[in-house]
Amino acid sequence: MFGAFLSIAMFFLPESPRWLMTRDRHDQAITSLAALRGHHRDDEEIRLEASVISDSIRASGHIGGNTPFSALFTGGKTQHFRRMLLGASSQFFQQVCLSHLLKELRGQYTDSNRSVAAMP
């Protein structure tokens, strides 16, 4: 149910400014930044943040936004493999901890019901 909600809500979310800049859509990226920050497009803070994003895209070498899938399994300057492992391991451990917590809570709940039922 939650997945269906996210899939539908995804169509109403704006593109990120960084994604727009990698696609050479700078005007839309500045408009998106201004909307996110609650400032006007011509604000100095917005222009500064847009230039920082643009510089980081140039430094990472992702102008055009085309990163092959095989780059996830390489190290190199952008550290895609390291980033992928950090994300995957955090998701894995979140699932393990949550399932363990639910198992413990379920065990405590059933134990307390048994002790109450056993009372005269």
Question: What residue segments make up the domains of the chain, in order of their start?
Answer: 13-64, 72-120
pLDDT above 90 (res 52):
yes
Task: Report whether 20 contacts 28 (CB < 8 A).
Answer: yes
Taken in order 56, 60, 61, 63, the sign of the CA dihedral is negative
pLDDT digits (tens, 9 = 90+) for 10-32: 888 888 898 899 888 899 999 99
Greater model confidence, 89 or 1 = 89
pLDDT digits (tens, 9 = 90+) for 54-98: 988 887 766 665 667 777 777 777 677 888 899 999 988 888 888
Which pTM does this prediction carry? 0.55
